[in-house]
Amino acid sequence: MNTAHPAPSELPAWLYWQEAAPIDSVEAPTREAFVERWGAPGLPVKLGGLTDAWPARERWSVAFFRREHGACDVTVEARAAAGGTRSVRLADYLATLDGPTGNEAWYLKDWVFREQAPALADDYRVPAQFPDYFAELEPALRPGYSWIYIGPRDSASNFHRDVAGTSAWNALIRGRKLWLFFAPDEHAAAYDNSLDAFVRDRSPDPRLAARRPLYCIQEPGEIVFTPSLWWHQVYNLETSIAVTENFADDCNLKHVLRGLRERPEGRHTALALALLVGCRRPRPIGARQ
């Protein structure tokens, strides 16, 4: 099994953590191997060889989205330092991708494309490594954690961990991304969404500066797995297009149930999910019916 790492020279010179440790990188592991090495232990990993047959790899481009879906209304967001969101037509947003960069760049993140352009879901397949209990619920109870991200060079997500205790897979279709991961250890209780790991010309917040994150450089066609509860931030080294889904499986189920129960809109989903999984698991001999 190949677990090659990207060369440290690939890290941008401005990044504070030049000694960050790379995550594993592996080609198309089986579901069993994935669970044993990364899913169950809860470790991030970069996976290759899983998207080669996807129509999205050939179809999805800035020109494609402008031509086929430019009339869609989307919400774009600036980094925390610039702040704010705004609603625009997708075509108008795509026309700005060569505009300002850095904190002033607008980023299309969390586009719930299935509501406006459901046919896009036919352009990719959920990899076998990521079976999702949500997909087995009644449609009205599914949280709908499927998104497309489009961002210009030097745009970035905010520092965050994924919604409701879920894990996520992110497939990069165009561009290059830099990921930083911070483990859910004893230091994580001090983190919040106001932090920024990608500051320049100064050290990051002391809550981050003393930590040693993991990192990866994601290339087109590669999938990055983010385990439940890991704080992370993603930087677009080039104009990028990606699709991501957050999911519930046996490896993260306890975190997902807790996360959903903490959200008023998630409590019915949590109940349905617990019933679904409970009906499948065999009862110990002698257990009450």
Checking if the pLDDT of 284 tops 50, the result is no
Tell me, what's the pLDDT at 191?
A: 95
Q: What is the 3-state secondary structure (H, E, C) of 178-238?
A: EEEEECCCCCHHHCCCCCCCCCCCCCCCHHHHCCCCEEEEECCCCEEEECCCCEEEEEECC
CA–CA dist 15, 30 (Å, integer): 34
Two structure tokens written together for 47:
């996976």
**Crossing angle of helices 267-280 and 253-261, rounded to 10°:** 150
More confident residue, 64 or 201: 64
Query: 192-217, pLDDT tens digit by residue?
Result: 999 999 998 889 999 999 999 999 99
Checking if the pLDDT of 136 tops 90, the result is yes
pTM over 0.75? The answer is yes
The candidate with the shortest Cα–Cα distance to 157, out of 89, 85, 80, 90, is: 80
Query: In the structure, what pLDDT confidence band is assigned to residue 289 with cuts at 50, 70 and 90?
Result: very low
Among 6-15, 69-78, 104-113, the range with the most confident prediction by mean pLDDT is 69-78
Checking if the pLDDT of 12 tops 60, the result is yes
The pLDDT of 44-64, averaged and rounded, is 98
CA–CA dist 107, 86 (Å, integer): 10
The pLDDT of 72-101, averaged and rounded, is 83
**Residue whose pair of structure tokens reads 């047959």 in the numeric block:** 53
Residue type at 96 in one-letter notation: T
Structural domains in the chain, CATH included, are 22-280 (2.60.120.650)
Please say whether the beta carbons of 207 and 114 come within 8 A: no
CA–CA dist 27, 66 (Å, integer): 33
CA–CA dist 96, 105 (Å, integer): 9
Per DSSP, what are the bridge partners of residue 87? 75
The candidate with the shortest Cα–Cα distance to 271, out of 79, 149, 138, 74, is: 138
CA–CA dist 39, 50 (Å, integer): 16
Tell me, what's the pLDDT at 55?
A: 98
The pLDDT of 41-52, averaged and rounded, is 98
**Residue 27, SS3?**
strand
Checking if the pLDDT of 101 tops 70, the result is no
